Amino acid sequence: MDLAHRIETALETAMGRAAADPAPPKLKKALYHAVFPGGARVRPSLCLAVAGACGDDAPALSDAAAAAIELIHCASLVHDDLPCFDDADIRRGQPTVHRLYGEPLAVLVGDGLIVAAFETLAAAAGVKPLRLPELVAIVGRAVGSPYGLVAGQAWESERVADLSAYQQAKTGSLFVAATMAGAVAAGADPGPWRAMGEKLGEAYQVADDIRDAAADPAEIGKPVGCDALHDRPNAVARLGLAGALARLTGLLGEAADAVPPCRGEAMLRGLVMAQGQRLVPKGMVAAE
Amino acid sequence: MDLAHRIETALETAMGRAAADPAPPKLKKALYHAVFPGGARVRPSLCLAVAGACGDDAPALSDAAAAAIELIHCASLVHDDLPCFDDADIRRGQPTVHRLYGEPLAVLVGDGLIVAAFETLAAAAGVKPLRLPELVAIVGRAVGSPYGLVAGQAWESERVADLSAYQQAKTGSLFVAATMAGAVAAGADPGPWRAMGEKLGEAYQVADDIRDAAADPAEIGKPVGCDALHDRPNAVARLGLAGALARLTGLLGEAADAVPPCRGEAMLRGLVMAQGQRLVPKGMVAAE
């Protein structure tokens, strides 16, 4: 089964459980709206790719880890779009959850997806239960405080932000979780996989800054120019567009170099470089 | 160590981890404000009492289960108090989290506490890792959809609510989790502990309805009369005040009768009846 199919199937299983009876009808619809159709599913693809490179000896657990990470990502989008944060109308080309279903359900969908992520891990732990403590710890660290998405978003409520902690928590954390959880799900030591996740997270942040500054909103399915509007720190403001493109290429190379010795090492290096090109908006070419 | 001390220590450990550096300063304060000082800590006390009655052979895991359940409870209070739900100014006699720290941090504190609950379970799983999958499943079921707090709160967004599903999810679920998680943490089969949690959850809901209708707001540290104001289903509207008090007493008796055979059976029955009297507002006596 290809990775994309495994991811969608795992997400369908998780959402089938969360949106089963007796869940309230609007909550069911809002949960599905938050997860399907997805974006590029970058993080769960990375998670499964790493699990595959490590042997993928418990595919159901790898699938659960990938789904958990995507559910956390979807939860963060729903909460970040709320009126008290970005007040966004559009996400992935569709109305945001709170625009369609109201603010109460958007808060609850975010909460419910976070919970569903941990339930998904626990439900798949049957075959290799001793891997669960570390998987829960890795996913928890990526979403909670002090290192995860919650902490990253909370830096936006501070007058002066710790820029490195902010960016690592806001974007880097889920990429690190993706590589490390992929390794743990396949029975490998997660430590050596941290650096690859960090570099990819940073690359993705730079790519996001480039898209926000220069992409066509119709292509990426959400408004652009938000960083400049909110005066948020970003790589384009700091390095210029060409500088940011060069930085992106550099980071992708560093991510490929950071792949630890493993069965699928060459495959994974190639994947990083190929996927990296997809991060650049159409019509642009990352500097060589 | 007495139960109250164990609970506060476990909560301090969990919050010490979540509010450690490099967490943003306001988030740290807001996290502590949501958890300390606590209310009656009814749910974690119940969890530890059940663990004790089952032998409590892994006290650190019992403490973690109790703390996880209280963290989920605190998270639900912070989110329920948000402007888009109850828009509450006061909780436990103090300003609510969003009044003190703003709505963005209140959303993030709720998210962070949910995550901290699962991290707390995972961090304590070292001694008995095979108990973790069931603990995560029990806590997840209590907070998520379709059976937990998220689903319960979401019923308030429906024109017509499934009243039984609403009340079981909104109040009953965490009591069921408290008894069942207490049992699992101590290595016991959780199934027989469900009924006791259900009865106590229903008793607590009735007691809450009584307090909302008849208590002094200064005594309970939050506004009263909210059910009538929002036209929410409640036991006092359905049964009258005397009828609700009689129902409360009946439910406490049923909860005591539902204690399964275990080492601490008699102790636990006595505790249920004694604690039950504390649920009644001062100046009232539950009907015999």
Q: B27 vs A85: CB contact, 8 Å cut-off?
A: no
Q: What percent of chain A has pLDDT over 70?
A: 93
Best mutation target, B21, B31, B76, B111, to test chain A (most A CBs within 10 A):
B111
Residue B275's pLDDT is what? Answer: 77
- Give the lowest-confidence range in A161-165, A208-212, A268-272, B214-218: B214-218
How does pLDDT run across B230-265, given as a tens digit for each residue? 767 788 888 989 999 999 999 999 999 999 999 999
Pick from A19, A25, A146: CB nearest B20: A146
Residue B283's pLDDT is what? Answer: 66
pLDDT band for A277, please (50, 70, 90 cuts).
confident
Residues of chain A positioned with their CB less than 8 A from the CB of B153: 104, 108
Q: Considering the entire predicted model, what is its pTM? A: 0.94
Is pLDDT larger for residue A229 or for residue B206? B206
Residue B285's pLDDT is what? Answer: 57
Could you tell me which CATH number the domain at B3-278 has? 1.10.600.10
Nearest CA in chain B to A153: B108
Residue B277's pLDDT is what? Answer: 75
**Over chain A, what HEC string results?**
CCHHHHHHHHHHHHHHHHCCCCCCHHHHHHHHHHHCCCCCCHHHHHHHHHHHHCCCCCHHHHHHHHHHHHHHHHHHHHHHCCCCCCCCCEECCEECHHHHHCHHHHHHHHHHHHHHHHHHHHHCCCCCHHHHHHHHHHHHHHHCCCCCHHHHHHHHHCCCCCHHHHHHHHHHHHHHHHHHHHHHHCCCCCHHHHHHHHHHHHHHHHHHHHHHHHCCHHHHCCCCCHHHHHCCCCHHHHHHHHHHHHHHHHHHHHHHHCCCCCCCHHHHHHHHHHHHHHCCCCCCCCCC
Q: Is the pLDDT of residue A287 over 50?
A: no
Query: Can you give the residue ranges of every domain in chain B?
Result: 3-278
Stretches in chain B below the pLDDT threshold 70: 1, 216-223, 229, 231, 281-288
Q: What percent of chain B has pLDDT over 90?
A: 73
How many Å apart are CA B146 and CA B138, to the nearest integer?
Answer: 13
Q: B132 vs A137: CB contact, 8 Å cut-off?
A: no
Best mutation target, B150, B159, B162, B173, to test chain A (most A CBs within 10 A):
B150
How does pLDDT run across A179-191, given as a tens digit for each residue? 999 999 999 999 9
How does pLDDT run across B16-43, given as a tens digit for each residue? 999 999 999 999 999 999 999 998 899 9
Residue B288's pLDDT is what? Answer: 43
Residue A288's pLDDT is what? Answer: 43
Residue B27's pLDDT is what? Answer: 98
